[in-house]
Amino acid sequence: MSTSLSPLLAPMLSSGPMRAVCDDAAMLQNMLDFEAALARAEAATGVIPKRAAEPIAKACKADAFDLAALADAATRSGNLAIPLVKALTAHVAKSDADAARYVHWGATSQDVIDTAAMLSLRAGADALLGDIDRAIAGFAKLARRHRTTAMVARTWLQHALPMPFGLKLAEYAAALHRSKTRLTRMRSETLALQFGGAAGTLAALGDKGLAVAEQLAQDLGLPLPDAPWHTHRDRVADVASVLAILAGTCGKIARDVSLMMQTDVAEAFEPSGEGRGGSSTMPHKRNPVAAATALAAATMAPNLAATILAAQVQDHERSAGPWHAEWPTLPTLLLVTSGALAAIVDIAEGLEVDAARMRANLDVTGGLIMAEAVTMALAEKIGKGDAHHLIEAASKKAVAEKKQLRDILAGDSTIAAQLGGLDGLAKLFEPMAYQGASQALIDRLLASLDER
């Protein structure tokens, strides 16, 4: 677990709190926290002398170790835990040579690295949960404000039907809330202690292995699994899936916002600010900066998750290679997911909506967006097939003659009469009169956010 984005790019693609979580020093401290907790657990269960625990725990401070030296040594040993245990043992020996004999007693390198990763992932989940609450609240507030704001619903990027903007916003909030549910479950159930010793049997601890594991899990605040899971990586794959889904949801929202920000659409915009969204050559530009960050993350996250999924295929009780692939991949996935979510928070809390432009865009097709509404009303009189044929022909005529569909229909006395004359047609061409169950759906989506 290390910050695997360059210092120049990291602020653009990740959140500050997540960069702190994924920092090399933070990861090293998590490994040392495992060693300190292990010593305390073994002292409490009589595996090592009680007096050995305190000197070991006191030595477990990341700032006492040389990161560069550990990294260099890891290239020869195959992982970071081996040189760290050697360095920790030497550090403890400076104050208590006898206690140094009990450093890392009965554990294996993977126990240290995997458990440290679980601690990092827990902190990462907490950072994401804080931001996801803000994004959900922001979109829910906007949904209530715009529940009757009429806009174009688009299918295949074409005008389809009218819809309330509040429905789109409520869907954003609900999708993010589903990711919150996944994150919360993952944090409480998936992130488990890793402690199995050399081959997952805890043989070095005799009959006290499970007692030590119980004490260790309690000390670190991690669930105790039924058994060590060294080469069963479904837990890690679960984490990757949850993160990739969240990044994808952020990407979907960002895609919509970037499309709504197009000059030709101009319905909703990211928050504006000095120097934000500008161009190096075009002073008039207002580019979708936050959306671009979320879309970048949504592009990267699936491939990072795929690496984690591929790394599930491991050999026997301990594996070389696939396990190593997780080390840089997980923090990168955490980082880009945090960047996507932070960008969406920015949008949710500062989205600028042009309701008048939304309403004007409904009229761009000259009333064609209400063709289905008219067809369904006419179908009640003459049947769906005939109604569809007539309104399709009228729509083509409106396009060819560059006229309003309503005017074409008003000029056909037979159709107009079936639809209640001019007053009936006027009602059929009111966009928010044709929104189906939208208001009930908004209520249902907002109610799904209530966790009580």
The pLDDT averaged over each successive group of 10 residues in the chain (452 residues) is 70 92 96 98 98 98 96 94 97 97 97 98 98 98 98 97 98 98 97 97 97 98 97 98 98 98 95 59 70 95 97 95 95 97 97 97 96 96 95 96 96 91 94 96 96 54
The neighbouring-strand residues paired with 158 are 155
Q: What is the pTM of this model?
A: 0.93
Chain centroid, CA 429 distance in Å: 40
Task: Identify the pLDDT of residue 285.
Answer: 53
Q: Are 203 and 239 in contact (CB under 8 A)?
A: no
Chain centroid, CA 438 distance in Å: 27
Exposed, middle or buried: residue 172 (CB in 10 Å: 0-12, 13-18, 19+)? buried
Between CA 125 and CA 309 the distance in angstroms is 19
Exposed, middle or buried: residue 278 (CB in 10 Å: 0-12, 13-18, 19+)? middle
Between CA 282 and CA 257 the distance in angstroms is 21
Q: Are 150 and 359 in contact (CB under 8 A)?
A: yes
Choice among 154, 318, 357, 359 that is catalytic: 318
How many CB atoms are located within 10 Å of the residue 433 CB? 12
Find the angle CA(179)-CA(437)-CA(269) to the nearest 5 degrees. Answer: 55
Task: Identify the pLDDT of residue 284.
Answer: 56
Between CA 224 and CA 229 the distance in angstroms is 11
The neighbouring-strand residues paired with 151 are 163
The neighbouring-strand residues paired with 153 are 161
234 phi and psi, to 5 degrees?
-60, -30
Between CA 356 and CA 364 the distance in angstroms is 13
The neighbouring-strand residues paired with 150 are 164
Helix (H, G, I), strand (E, B) or coil at 236: helix
Between CA 89 and CA 32 the distance in angstroms is 12
Choice among 178, 276, 279, 444 that is catalytic: 279
Taking alpha carbons only, the member of 290, 263, 1 closest to residue 124 is 1
Q: Are 213 and 195 in contact (CB under 8 A)?
A: yes
Is residue 77 part of the annotated active site? The answer reads no
Task: Identify the pLDDT of residue 5.
Answer: 78
Tell me the Cα Rg of the chain: 30
210-229-40-64 Cα dihedral, nearest 10 degrees: 160
First vs last Cα of the chain: how many Å apart? 36
Is residue 235 part of the annotated active site? The answer reads no
Between CA 243 and CA 305 the distance in angstroms is 8
Task: Identify the pLDDT of residue 414.
Answer: 87
Question: Contacts for 143-148 with beta carbons within 8 Å, 24 or more apart?
Answer: 143/167, 143/169, 143/170, 143/172, 143/173, 143/442, 143/445, 143/446, 144/446, 146/353, 146/355, 147/439, 147/442, 148/432
Taking alpha carbons only, the member of 305, 326, 314 closest to residue 231 is 314
Give the Å distances, CA to CA, from 101 to 52, 55, 57, 91: 9, 11, 14, 12
Chain centroid, CA 403 distance in Å: 46
Where b means 16+ CB within 10 Å and e means fewer, 377-414 reads: bbbeeeeeeebbebbeebbeebeeeeebbbebbbeeee
* Residue 353: both structure tokens together: 């909506």
User: What is the greatest pairwise CA distance in the chain?
Assistant: 103
Task: Identify the pLDDT of residue 281.
Answer: 60
